[in-house]
Structure 1
């Protein structure tokens, strides 16, 4: 049941969310694990480069998380609903702490270091999906859940701005293995916070079956592919999922091509660094604005217009603008990300209780995978066309895709019956 504190927290703003005692523990654990991953990535990259002298191996250590992350999200997703959330979260953190501790051991071969990094990436989507689903148990499924999810996203975005700088600073005073030891300690502290700061709850799938509310077959509860079909088989849920997955394919284009674009317009490394920060800064600012000043109904009404217009600022790339205009465009694209809060509410309303963990796991897995696809496609296109035209083309194609997805969502919602005032049909 939703606690009285959680119901009061839903009245507005981010500050009341922290009045929910369990959320404070979950948030602290999230902060530790995110910073731990960032520090581990930087430290491992340096460690592998010093051991091999190979830029390729160093880059591989940094990028190795993508494929295991995708596999883990698909194969492990059913566990997010079949096992109690607290047990899954603590076990994933302890496994990551063990992997990081093994990296610290002197003489660990490079192959083992890469395998340990892959193991951490493999369980990451299960951890993230289970934690996101468990926020519904901690905060309830109303507006307070949306704000809690938003805070988690902003921590992850901030890690891109602060974490890499912090990691680089640590490596000026600590050896890479010592920095990785701090990562192991962070994961261990996260496990303890989740184990002793959150309540023990039964698995969602078991609860749904016991109450007779489960809608899927036994195979859908146990098979990764059947669970995947269960999540994407519903028209409305599929349309919502694609609204999370596909726009980043196009939004990532300016970030992926910032280096060649900065070189083409003669911008220096300082300007490049500032431009790299513009999109995440805009994203954080947009979420803060929507979460702090907009009512839930207003956020819902803004989903379609903000999503549809979100990529349009990138059209200025067609005239190959200078740094100030690029900064303004990237900030505007980030601000439009405020629509995610309303989209989150639609999504959680559409997901059946017994599928929530699986759906959240697959949602995060697909989001990361499609961002990787978008980076690869942008780079490939830039081999045949100037970077500024690739970004402008991404804006046109991305806007068309979003409009088609919104039309599909409206059609699917109409066919599924009436919705509440916070749903996709809200006027």
Structure 2
């Protein structure tokens, strides 16, 4: 399929200027960015509306909670089975198709006759498609911005929007449900997915598929990806800290109860980590150069979970908030890690790699939340969080050594750090 005339003038290369402003100056990135915002708002509204709808139909808190749980678990299935799709077909076609499939699934939820079982199955379908969409979009950023600093900053902007949406999105979704029924609120999600599809269709170029041979890409894409030692290590560096960092969030409700802080305290605890993450990303992206961002990856990787250890000292609410903000700010290492990853992955496997990365992140976070609950039942909330800090820091230290051992392999030399 050839590109329509209106897309013929879209730039192939990344921005000449650096910094967030230079990235946002690229028209094609602005289309991807706006589509991301719309999709994100739609997902947040659908999660809230669907959880309320399921609770109204069943009266079961467990069934309502399953709506959120099913947002994590099927990611592994989608990542494992559908990852090669991101490279076998043109990226724009994959992105638009994913948006249309999601819109169709949510539209089916709106039907009055849709029962609880149908709603949960459709929720699973959304979660299966999500890693393919996310991975393809991230790979597209490298096509739009190049695989240097503009790519890192573009990916950072998408993460910042995601974290910021957590701070305001659920509140706005709750307000929406005060003026409309849950099924009607789902129509907002249908609209956002369709608008995202339209933006991506008209605002991005129609580039060819990355895989040279579609059949070979489907047969051996994952095997070829995991054959690279450097790629395997970097995937673990993304995944392992994410599994431990969600522990305070998963245990925020019982921890708030122990503190006697009530609902306001719970809200503050849920916001602290995203606030720190956004602040760290903004500072690293706006104030640090490329070489510095890469140089701080391993030190921050080893330190970012250590604030959790202080939970063993039974801190009060405000100290706990400070610990979470500091830990969130430590995740600024991901900007340099993004650069290492895109440099290590062969271009023809970039879509597959980003899909696997996205699927793994959601899967390990879901597993981390579940394991946090089990640990808290056995040891108590504070001990579980402090234990996550100790064990997570040890794992991160091991991964830092593995990163050092694989430098220079798979074309992944850190030549931009001056080392």
CA–CA separation in structure 1 for the residues paired with 2:98 and 2:409: 40
**1:60 and 2:66 correspond:** yes
**Which residue number corresponds to residue 243 of structure 2?**
249
Residue 5 (structure 1) shift: 6.8
TM-score, scaled relative to structure 2: 0.94
Q: Deviations over 1:146-198 (max 9, x none)?
A: 00000111111122111111110100111111110010011000000001111
* Distance in 2 separating the partners of 1:112 and 1:236: 42
Which residue, out of 349, 352, 362, partners 1:355? 349
CA deviation map 1:84-106 (0-9, x unaligned): 00000000101111111111122
- Kept in 2: contact 1:97–1:187 (CA 8 A): yes
1:65, CA displacement in angstroms?
Answer: 2.4
Q: Does 1:422 align with 2:416?
A: yes
Q: Is 1:46 equivalent to 2:52 in the alignment?
A: yes
| Secondary structure in structure 2 of the residue aligned to 1:200 | coil
Residues 1:142 and 2:143 are matched in the alignment: no
TM-superposed deviation, 1:219: 6.6
Q: How high is the TM-score relative to the length of structure 1?
A: 0.93
Question: Where does residue 395 of structure 1 map in the other structure?
Answer: 389
Query: Match of 2:118?
Result: 112
Cα 1:58–1:411 change in 2 (3 A) is same
SS in 1 for 2:15: helix
- Give the alignment partner of residue 342 of structure 1, picking from 325, 331, 336: 336
Structure-1 separation of matches of 2:321 and 2:49: 30
Q: State the shift of 1:415 in Å.
A: 5.3
In structure 2, C-alpha distance between the alignment counterparts of 1:416 and 1:76, rounded to whole Å: 24
RMSD (CA atoms): 1.8
Distance 1:34 1:391, change over 3 A: same
SS in structure 1 at match of 2:246: helix
Q: Structure 2: 5+ residue runs without aligned partners?
A: 1-9
Question: Contact 2:344–2:410 (CA<8 Å) still a contact in 1?
Answer: no
Q: 1:417 to 1:248 in 2, by over 3 A?
A: closer
1:262–1:272: 8 Å Cα contact kept in structure 2?
A: yes
1:5 and 1:138 map into 2 onto residues whose CA distance is: 6
| CA apart distance, 1:422 | 2.6
Partner of 1:413: 407
Paired with 1:417 and 1:95, the residues of 2 have a C-alpha distance of 37
Task: Give CA deviations for 1:190-246 in whole Å, capped at 9, x if unaligned.
Answer: 00000111110000113xx5xxxxxxxx875113xx432322221111111100000
Query: Are 2:275 and 1:281 equivalent residues in the alignment?
Result: yes
Pairwise CA distance, 1:298: 0.7
Counterpart in the other structure of 1:29: 35
Question: Secondary structure of the residue that 1:137 maps to in structure 2?
Answer: helix
1:7 aligns with 2:3: no
Could you tell me whether the CA contact under 8 Å between 2:82 and 2:132 is conserved in 1?
yes
Instruction: Pick from 276, 288, 294 the counterpart of residue 294 of structure 1.
Output: 288
Give the distance between the partners of 2:273 and 2:91, measured in 1 at CA: 33
- 1:214 matched to which residue of 2? none
Superposed, 1:77-116 pairs within 5 Å as: 77-116=83-122
Once the two structures are superposed, residues 336-380 of structure 1 have per-residue CA deviations (whole angstroms, 9 ceiling, x without a partner) of 011100000000000000100000000010111111111111111
264-273 or 148-157: bigger deviation: 264-273
Q: Deviations along 1:291-315, whole A, 9 cap, x unmatched?
A: 1111101101111111111111112
Report the count of equivalent residues: 411
- Deviates further, 289-298 or 311-320: 311-320
Match of 2:171 among 160, 165, 175: 165
Q: In the alignment, which residue of structure 2 is the partner of 1:212?
A: none
Displacement after TM superposition at 1:409 (Å): 1.3
Query: What pairs up with 1:113-132 in 2 under 5 angstroms?
Result: 113-132=119-138
Which residue in the other structure is 1:215 paired with?
A: none
8 Å Cα contact 2:247/2:369 also seen in 1: yes
1:107 Cα deviation from its structure 2 partner: 2.0
State how far apart, in whole Å, the 2-side matches of 1:95 and 1:143 are: 33
Instruction: Say whether residues 1:72 and 2:68 are aligned partners.
Output: no
SS at structure 2 position matched to 1:6: coil
Query: Is residue 44–residue 61 contact of structure 1 (8 Å, CA) maintained in 2?
Result: yes
Counterpart in 1 of 2:217?
221
Partner of residue 359, structure 2: 365
Q: 1:386 aligns with which of 367, 374, 380?
A: 380
- The Cα offsets for residues 30-78 of structure 1, whole Å up to 9 and x where unpaired, read as 0000110010011011111112222222222232222322201110000
Report what 1:213 is aligned to.
none
Structure 1 residue runs without a partner (length 5+): 210-217
Partner of 2:231: 237
SS state at 1:383 partner: helix
1:184 matched to 2:190? yes
> Match of 2:3?
none
Determine whether 1:155 maps to 2:131: no
Contact 2:344 2:412 in 1 (8 A): no
